[in-house]
Amino acid sequence: MIISDRVKICSRDIKIIANPLYNGAEFHTLGTDGQGFISIGTSMKNPEYILHLLLHEILECILCSDGVRYEAGNCDDKYLFCFSHDYLSTVPYKLLDAMVSCGLFKIPKNIQIRGIRRRRDAKKRNRKKNNTGRA
C-alpha cells in the first residue's frame, strides 16, 4: 500500500513524514489556519503498527483542530479529550475525509453488509411468499 505524503485534516494540508529512525509518532500544526506535519516512526517495519500510529495522529489532529483536547498535566501523555455524543457523530466524516485524501481508503460505489439483506430484496421475498396465485 502506498500512502500519500499529504493528508487533508479539517481543511488543513498536513505533510506526512516517515522517520525510519523513530518508533513513535507526533504531529505539529502551525497556527490556527497553518499547515503542519505528522511524523510517523517506521523503524519497526510493521505495517499494522505504522497504520495504527498514523490513524492515531490523524484522529488526534482532528480533535485538536476542533478544540476538544485539553492538557491535563506537564507531560505529552497527559491530554484530556472532552466532547459530546453529538460531536462524536461528526468525527467519522472528518476521519474518512482524511483517510481518503491520503489514499488509506477508497469509498466503494455500493456497500453491502453480510447478514443484512437490502430492503428491496426483502420486499420481493415477502411478495413472493404472500402470492397465492389468485388473481
Say yes or no to pLDDT of 119 above 70: no
Q: Which is higher by pLDDT, 120 or 5?
A: 5
What is the residue-averaged pLDDT of the chain? Answer: 84
3-state SS assignment for residue 108: coil
Distance of CA 17 to the CA centre of its chain: 18
Give the H or E element holding residue 48: helix 47-65
pLDDT in tens, 63-87: 998 999 888 877 767 888 999 999 9
pLDDT score, position 128: 67
pLDDT in tens, 17-43: 999 999 999 998 877 667 899 999 999
DSSP letter at 103?
T
| Mean pLDDT, residues 86-108 | 92
Grid coordinates belonging to 76: 505529552
HSE-CB of 56 using CA atoms within 13 angstroms: 13
% of the chain residues with pLDDT over 90: 47
> In Å, what is the CA distance from 72 to each residue of 52, 63, 80?
24, 15, 6
In the chain, the N- to C-terminal Cα span, in Å, equals 58
